[in-house]
Structure 1
Amino acid sequence: MYNIYGAAGSGPVAIEAVLELMEVPYQVLVEAPTWEGEAERAKVTPVNPMAQLPVLVTTQGEVITESAAILLWLTEQHPEANLAPKPGCATRAQFLRWMSFIPAAIYSMYWVRDEPERIAGDNKAVYPELLQRTADRIAHCWNVMDSQLTPQLFLLGQQMSVLDIYVTVASRWTPGRRRFYQVAPGMAEVVRRVDGLVQLKDFWARRFPFNTDWDG
C-alpha cells in the first residue's frame, strides 16, 4: 500500500485520483494542510524538509516528493493503467513538456499566494496587488498552454493520461474555474469530462467536492 501525506482540495488530490483510477491500494497517512501554519508543516518536515505536499511513501519505504515526479513514477510502476504515452509515442514529448510546465509555471505561484509575506514581508499594503498579479500570471499560463494544444476527448488525444488529472485538479484553484474556462476554452471540455468520470464520482465528493466557488 502506498502512503500519502496530503490534504483535501490540494495538490496530493491529483495523486490520489490517479491511484483511484489505477485501482492501486493507498492511504492518506497524514492529513496536513501546510498552508495553515507551522503546526501543519511540522507534520510533513520529517519526510520532506521543504514542508510541502504531496509526499508519497512507496511500498519499499522510499520517499518521493514533487507532484509531477510522483505522477510520472506511478505511470512507470503501473503501465497496465495506460495513463501516459509510452516512450517513442508521438505524444510523449508534449506530455513531458506540459507535465513540467504545470509545476514550473503555475503550481509555483501558490507558494507566494498561500503566504504573501514570504515575498512582501510585513508590507501588507502590497498583498492585494501581489495576489492579483499572481492570479493574472496563472491565468496567462493556462492561456499559453491552451494555445499550444488541440484537445480531443482528452488533452493529448483520445487516451486519458495523468496530465488530464493534473490539469483538472490545478484548474480548480485560484483564479478559479470560471476564469479558466475563459482563458483556456480548448481545455475546458476536457476538465469537465474528467470532473464527470464515473470512476471518480465518490472520490471527488470526498476529497475535492464541487462547489460554486470554482465551477461555472
Structure 2
Amino acid sequence: MSFTLYGAAGSGSVPVEAAMTLIGLDYRVIEAVTWEGEAERDKVAVANPMRQVPTLITPDGETITESAAILIWLADAHPKARLGPSIDDPRRAQFLRWMTFIPASIYSMFWVRDEPSRLVGDDAAAQEQIRQRTAERIAECWRVMDRQITPGRFLLGDDLSVLDLYVAVASRWTPRRARFAIEAPRMAEVVRRVDARPGLQDFWARRFPFDEGA
C-alpha cells in the first residue's frame, strides 16, 4: 500500500515529497492548490478539516498534518535513510528547535501574507503594509537562525536531514533566495548543496523549478 499526500507544487508539501523520494516510499499526490480558492481547499477537507496542505495519509489510514510533524515522523520512522538525528543523538535538541522554529516563526507568516484581507478586509494600503512587514519579519527570522546555527556540509553537520529539505524549500518563498543569501549567507551555502543533490534533480524540476536569483 502507498501513502497519499495532499499537496501542491511549490508549497509546504514539497519538502515532505522530497523526503519521501529520498526514502524511496511509494506515494501519490492529490494536487490541491489551496491558495487559489475554496474549491481547492475543499479537496483537502475530506482528510483535514483545516483544509491545508500538506496532509499525509499513511498506508494504515492514519492522518498526519503539519509539515514539520510529517518530516520529523518520516525521519524517525525510517532511520536507515538517515534524514534526522535519533532521540539519543546530541544534535536532536537543535534539530527539534529549528524544525519547530520554521513553521512557528516563518511559515506562519504566509497565512496572512497570502491573503491580507483575512485581517484587514479590502483596505489596499493596509494589505500592502502587511506584505511589507511580513517580508521583513521573515528576513529577520532567517537572519536570527543563521547567526545561531553552525552548519557543516549541511545544517546539522555532514548528514543531510529533513531540516535541510525544509529550509531549502522555505527559502524559495518570499522574500526569495536573493534576499535569503544576504540575510543567511551560511545557510545559503547549504541550500545550494541541497538544490544540487543528485537524487533530487528530477524532483526539483517537477515540483519546484525556480530562478535562484529571484
Deviation at 1:127, TM superposition (A): 1.0
CA distance in 2, matches of 1:82, 1:203: 19
1:188 lines up with 2:169 in the alignment: no
CA deviations over 1:107-155 (Å, ceiling 9, x no partner):
0000001111111112222111110000000000000000001111000
**Are the equivalent residues in 2 in contact too, given 1:56–1:65 (CA < 8 A)?**
yes
CA distance in 1, matches of 2:155, 2:38: 37
2:79 corresponding residue in structure 1: 79
CA distance in 2, matches of 1:180, 1:174: 9
Query: Which shifted more, 191-200 or 124-133?
Result: 124-133
**Are the equivalent residues in 1 in contact too, given 2:143–2:184 (CA < 8 A)?**
yes
1:8 lines up with 2:9 in the alignment: yes
1:96 lines up with 2:91 in the alignment: no
Q: TM-score, normalised by structure 1?
A: 0.96
Gaps of 5+ in 1: none
CA distance in 1, matches of 2:184, 2:58: 35
| SS in structure 2 at match of 1:3 | strand
1:27 corresponding residue in structure 2: 28
State how many pairs are aligned.
213
1:67 corresponding residue in structure 2: 67
**Are the equivalent residues in 2 in contact too, given 1:32–1:44 (CA < 8 A)?**
yes
1:215 corresponding residue in structure 2: 213
Query: Which shifted more, 142-151 or 121-130?
Result: 121-130
Gaps of 5+ in 2: none
CA distance in 2, matches of 1:89, 1:65: 25
| SS in structure 1 at match of 2:173 | coil
Deviation at 1:210, TM superposition (A): 2.4
CA distance in 2, matches of 1:165, 1:155: 10
Deviation at 1:7, TM superposition (A): 0.4
2:54 corresponding residue in structure 1: 54
CA distance in 1, matches of 2:25, 2:80: 11
CA deviations over 1:18-72 (Å, ceiling 9, x no partner):
01111111110x2111011111111111111111110000000111100000011
CA distance in 1, matches of 2:72, 2:116: 30
CA distance in 1, matches of 2:12, 2:41: 15
1:147 corresponding residue in structure 2: 147
The alignment's C-alpha RMSD in Å is 0.9
2:201 corresponding residue in structure 1: 201
% identity of equivalent residues? 62
Deviation above 4 Å: which 4+ runs of structure 1? none
